[in-house]
Structure formats: C-alpha cells, structure tokens
Chains A and B, each alone.
Chain A
Amino acid sequence: MAKVEEGLYYSTTHEWVKVEGEEALVGISDYAQHALGNIVYVDMPDEDDEIARDEEFGAVESVKAASDLVAPVSGTVLQTNTVLDDTPGLLNSDPYGSWILRVRLSDKSELDALMDAAAYSRFCESL
C-alpha cells in the first residue's frame, strides 16, 4: 500500500506539491516511485525555466523504464535538487522528503484542481 503524506497536494500523474507561501516544492509520490522501481536518473529543467501546468518538465528514469514529470502547477523554477544528481535513489527511499524542484507559483488558484491526501489515497486505490 503506497504511503500518502498529509498536507500536500497531489496530481493524477503522481506529483506532489508542498506550498510554502508564494513558493512550492514539487516531488513524486510513493506510488510513483514504487511503480518505477530503482530510480537511476532525474532529468530536471534549468533554474529560471518556466514550467506550465500539465506540461512535461523533465523525466524520472529507472533501469528499464522512464516516466515524464508533469507539472502540477505553473511557475518559475527557483532551484533544482542537485543532491538527486548523485543519489537519485533518494526518490525511492524518501519520496516525500526528496523534492525535485522549488518553484515560484504563478497562479495559486491552480492548487484547487489538485487532490488532497484523502482524495489521492482513494485515487491510488482505484488504479
């Protein structure tokens, strides 16, 4: 059973968003890391890139699979988690403690379209 952390927003493509004022952290859920298996590489955008909701902004790769990262919110990339360059496996061992991007949100109302923890739990069970 995949873990779901309270207090985060979730997308149907299994990204999570943690809001910190006008900024947010973006990562992938426990369900996503489990489906991929051992993660070996995270393809991340450059800092200052714009990401747009529902559009790809990178990819997560395991040995025999790859999955696009889809932006759950729009905004400007403030920082990428370079720790993942050397230790991408952190996304497996600690998916909610390992963010991928820090973004400045361009439209906080987009959060309304995302699921809360309870809704995301039900969503994962339905899959």
Chain B
Amino acid sequence: MKSYDRLVFELSREGRKGYSLPKSSWKASLSSIPGTLLRKVPLPLPQVSEPDAVRHYTCLSGMNFGVDNGFYPLGSCTMKYNPKVNEEVASLPGFASVHPLQPEDTMQGTLQIYHELCRALSAITGMAAFTLNPFAGAHGELTGLMVMRQYHMSRNDMKRTRVIVPDSAHGTNPASAAVCGLQVVQVKSTADGTIDVDDLEPLLDDTVAGIMMTNPNTLGLFETEIRRIAELVHACGGLLYYDGANMNPLLGKVRPGDMGFDIMHLNLHKTFSTPHGGGGPGAGPVGVCEALAGYLPDPAVVQDDDGRFHIVRNPHSAGRISGFMGNFSVLVKALAYIRTLGRGNIRMAGPLAVLNANYVKESLKDCYRLPVDRICKHEFVFDGLADTSSGITALDVAKRLLDFGFHSPTIYFPLLFHQSVMIEPTETESKETLDAFIDVMRRIAAEAASDPDVLRQAPHDTPVRRPDETLAATHPVLRYKI
C-alpha cells in the first residue's frame, strides 16, 4: 500500500467502462443540436472498470490519516471523534432524495431539521436567531460581517467601514473583512497573548463597524477583559463578532451571547462533531442577537402556529449568500450529535476538552517552551523546544510525530512566535492516548539532543517524505497531461 503511486488516468484503457445506464428508445438525438453549439475538443477522461476504480480509491485512502486512524491534535481544528450514527441518519433516503425547490408541504422534515437546529444552537450559544446557510467557517465570517454592515447601512450610518482584528486572529478574519469591503485595523496583543485594551481604546471611533474576536484566542487563552472590551466597542457604536472556531472549550459552559457578542459563527465540523472530509463539506451557521435577526441572509425557515414550517425571505436581509440552504446533510449530523449529548452531557464536553489540553500542557512544559504559563482552554501553544541548542524546528518535531502514528499539531501559527506548535487534544481522547502522545513528544525532545539528524530527516515511515514545496510553487504542475 505504501508504495502505491498511480493516478486514475494511468489505469485507463480505451473501451473500458465503470457505469451502467438503462437502455432507451428515445427518438431525439444529440445530433439535432447545431454543430456550432457542440464540443469539438476531445475529452480524455479515464476509462476504467468498476473494480479498478474501487481498488484505486481504496489504495488512495490508505495513504491518508484521519481521526479514525489515530490521535489528531491539530490546533484550532477541533479534530474530535465523528459519531457514526450521525452519518447513518444523514443519509436516510427521506433526506437524500429531496429536491431543494420542492413545495414546502413536501419537505416538512427537511425544514424541521433546519428549524430545530437553529433553536438548539440558540440555546447553546445564547444568540437569538441563526441562519444555517453558510457552508464553512470562513463563509460564516463573511455572512456575519455582511449582517454587521447591513445593520449599520440600514441606520444610514455609512461611514462605519473599519473592522478591528487582533494580530493573533485566524487568517480568515482579515480576509473575510476584505471580501466584505471592510478596512482591517489590527489591534496588538499583550505579552500574555490577549487583546491589549490600551491599544484598542484609541482605535474606537464612529468609523468602526465592529471587532472580530476569538475567545478563547488562538493561544487557547480566555480573554479575561471581554466585558470591558464589549462595553468599549458598544459605546462607540460598534458590534462584537465572535469567531466560533474556538467554541469547543466553552461548549456547555459559557455562552457567547452572554459575553456581549452580537454576531457569531460556529464551525459544525469542529464543535459539533461533523467530519472534516479532508477539507469540507463543513457548515458555518451564523447566530445574531435579537436586534440583528432581521438582517440574516435569505432564505430562512419559520414555524407557524399550526406547527407547519415555511421558507421565507426577509425584506431587510443582507441578501442571498448561497444557491440553496447550506450543506443540509451536515446539519442533520450536527443535530443528531446535539440530541445524543442532550442537555446533561453537553455540560461535560467543554470541560473535558479543557482538562485534556491542560493535562498535555503540564506534562510537556519542561521539554517545550511555554511562552504563557497559565490555565489554557481547549488548546495551547509551545514556542519550540525548551533547549534550542540543537536548532531543531517546529517542522522537524511535527514530521517526526508522523513516524509514531500521530498526526502533527498545527505549526507556525499563531504568528506571535517563531516556532509555534499548537496542540488541541479534544474531549474524545482517552488518558492512555494522551499519555502515549506525551511519551513520544518527550522522546522527540530527547532525540533533538542525542540524534538531531533523525528529526531533520523525518518522517521515515510515510508514503512520501518532505515533498519539495519550492519546486511545486516555482514550476506549478496543476493537472495531469495526457
């Protein structure tokens, strides 16, 4: 398996096929379409048999590492276990066969899922209303910022075009602001990584649309000055946006709505256990406070007094941000997760994630440099090895971990440190798994002193080893050439 090196195009032979379609006796034929409207260039798609295709993609899957393969402490990504019953109910034919434009009375089940998930997320976050249309976290950020702008524009407050973003924020925050036509103003972090309120205050005036915050922040630290920040931003007429990428430690414990946030997004593929799929599909629902509910994007779902569900458009909405109503089957999975947790178990999710993170941090902080030594939330950041004499980098540590059957942590983010190693264990990992990871991390720290070359040459036991990224970028080969 390790040596598998084929592309599906290389399995192709003229005359093979992998499909089975019904015969038909239709009279009309494509040849009646005018030739000027038809494709003339060849279409060199592969021609493979069904068993060849199955074996090829099964072999490719063997070159991948998922949460089901092993521990995946990728910081900021909340790689928790993805329950299997959720997959099963999401693929029920009753959901899968429904066309998104079917009449409302023929898709009451779909609309019920949408409505119930909105209500559940409101209960969990303390926000008044949700839209489930955004497809991913960054799409949620963009949608939330559109709502923010729409709110100011509807009050004829047109000069609010600046948004404040901490220097420690995820890259999507400033990028989403730019797509939304907002000017990004960076606010500095203090030595302990939280927002510098003294740096923030002078930035606040009547051109500020709002602030985007991640709490806990990307260092895994709770922004203890959140109440003061909320007061200051609200006093200048701005709104508070909550980046829900780091919601997991607060799940069942703290609600963003109670902290003064006006708008937020959630990553259902992080906090609510839906699988990441190698980079999607995820879902990025956006929640808002009561005053902003009317600005959420179209379409939305409401329930009438008779219990029937309806699709509605809001006259003041920020507009349409998607073809239909989001990644529906992802929404089903998240609701199934919430139903399985129930109102009792949900209280344990955040605290156990925080317990796991602090346990790993305390067990390794003598070997790795911990820039901010305090209680963390769901994740924490080391700045390389405690003993830097070997010159071993975060990249070397990350690659060596792969040899031991662990996925790497996030490295070189946040940008506040040179050798960031960001570790997020999540609540679904056992103490035995964490102990095994801790042992390997300590062994790697020891190897850095005793045999640094084994780290510089790592990984040794993976399908490929340190691909040449400079070559890939200077001479891009982005497609297979026949």
User: Residue-by-residue, is B459-482 near A (CB-CB < 8 Å gives 1, otherwise 0)?
Assistant: 000000000011001100000000
A88 touches B412 (CB 8 A): no
In the bound complex, how far is the Cα of B469 from the Cα of A91, in angstroms? 18
Q: Which residue of A lies closest to B474 (CB)?
A: A40
Contacts of B470 in A (CB 8 A): 38, 40, 63
Contacts of B474 in A (CB 8 A): 40-41, 88-89
Contacts of B412 in A (CB 8 A): 64
Total number of A residues with any Cβ neighbor in B under 8 Å = 8
In the bound complex, how far is the Cα of B467 from the Cα of A63, in angstroms? 12
| Interfacial residues of chain A within 19-69, with CB under 8 A of chain B in the complex | 38, 40-41, 61, 63-64
Minimum CB–CB distance for B468 against chain A, Å: 10
- Interface range for B: under 10
Contacts of A41 in B (CB 8 A): 473-474
In the bound complex, how far is the Cα of B154 from the Cα of A77, in angstroms? 44
Minimum CB–CB distance for A50 against chain B, Å: 23
Contacts of A40 in B (CB 8 A): 470, 473-474
User: Residue-by-residue, is A85-116 near B (CB-CB < 8 Å gives 1, otherwise 0)?
Assistant: 00011000000000000000000000000000
Contacts of B473 in A (CB 8 A): 40-41, 61, 63
In the bound complex, how far is the Cα of B395 from the Cα of A63, in angstroms? 14
Q: Which residue of B lies closest to A41 (CB)?
A: B473
Minimum CB–CB distance for B413 against chain A, Å: 10
Contacts of B469 in A (CB 8 A): 63-64
Minimum CB–CB distance for A82 against chain B, Å: 15
| Interfacial residues of chain B within 425-482, with CB under 8 A of chain A in the complex | 469-470, 473-474
Contacts of A61 in B (CB 8 A): 473
In the bound complex, how far is the Cα of B469 from the Cα of A61, in angstroms? 13
Contacts of A63 in B (CB 8 A): 469-470, 473
User: Residue-by-residue, is B255-272 near A (CB-CB < 8 Å gives 1, otherwise 0)?
Assistant: 000000000000000000
Contacts of A88 in B (CB 8 A): 474
Contacts of A38 in B (CB 8 A): 470
Minimum CB–CB distance for B60 against chain A, Å: 25
Minimum CB–CB distance for B477 against chain A, Å: 14
In the bound complex, how far is the Cα of B473 from the Cα of A61, in angstroms? 10
Contacts of A89 in B (CB 8 A): 474
In the bound complex, how far is the Cα of B469 from the Cα of A41, in angstroms? 13
Q: Which residue of B lies closest to A89 (CB)?
A: B474
In the bound complex, how far is the Cα of B412 from the Cα of A64, in angstroms? 10
In the bound complex, how far is the Cα of B412 from the Cα of A63, in angstroms? 13
In the bound complex, how far is the Cα of B473 from the Cα of A40, in angstroms? 6
In the bound complex, how far is the Cα of B473 from the Cα of A38, in angstroms? 10
In the bound complex, how far is the Cα of B476 from the Cα of A63, in angstroms? 12
In the bound complex, how far is the Cα of B138 from the Cα of A101, in angstroms? 36
In the bound complex, how far is the Cα of B474 from the Cα of A9, in angstroms? 29
In the bound complex, how far is the Cα of B470 from the Cα of A28, in angstroms? 20
Q: Which residue of B lies closest to A40 (CB)?
A: B473
| Interfacial residues of chain B within 390-425, with CB under 8 A of chain A in the complex | 412
In the bound complex, how far is the Cα of B411 from the Cα of A64, in angstroms? 12
Minimum CB–CB distance for B393 against chain A, Å: 12
Minimum CB–CB distance for B345 against chain A, Å: 40
Q: Which of A40, A41, A88 has the most CB of B within 10 A?
A: A40
| Interfacial residues of chain B within 188-238, with CB under 8 A of chain A in the complex | none
In the bound complex, how far is the Cα of B412 from the Cα of A38, in angstroms? 17
Minimum CB–CB distance for A11 against chain B, Å: 22
Q: Which residue of B lies closest to A37 (CB)?
A: B470
In the bound complex, how far is the Cα of B475 from the Cα of A41, in angstroms? 10
In the bound complex, how far is the Cα of B470 from the Cα of A92, in angstroms? 13
| Interfacial residues of chain B within 327-367, with CB under 8 A of chain A in the complex | none
In the bound complex, how far is the Cα of B352 from the Cα of A11, in angstroms? 52
Minimum CB–CB distance for A116 against chain B, Å: 31
In the bound complex, how far is the Cα of B476 from the Cα of A40, in angstroms? 10
In the bound complex, how far is the Cα of B50 from the Cα of A65, in angstroms? 43
In the bound complex, how far is the Cα of B393 from the Cα of A64, in angstroms? 15
Q: Which residue of B lies closest to A63 (CB)?
A: B469
In the bound complex, how far is the Cα of B412 from the Cα of A107, in angstroms? 42
Minimum CB–CB distance for A93 against chain B, Å: 13
In the bound complex, how far is the Cα of B412 from the Cα of A41, in angstroms? 21
Minimum CB–CB distance for A40 against chain B, Å: 4
Q: Which residue of B lies closest to A61 (CB)?
A: B473
Q: Which residue of B lies closest to A38 (CB)?
A: B470
14 contacts between A and B (CB under 8 A): A38-B470, A40-B470, A40-B473, A40-B474, A41-B473, A41-B474, A61-B473, A63-B469, A63-B470, A63-B473, A64-B412, A64-B469, A88-B474, A89-B474
**Besides A63-B473, A88-B474, 9 other CB < 8 A contacts?**
A38-B470, A40-B470, A40-B474, A41-B473, A41-B474, A61-B473, A63-B470, A64-B469, A89-B474
The 3 lowest CB-CB distance pairs between A and B, nearest first, are A40-B473, A38-B470, A63-B469
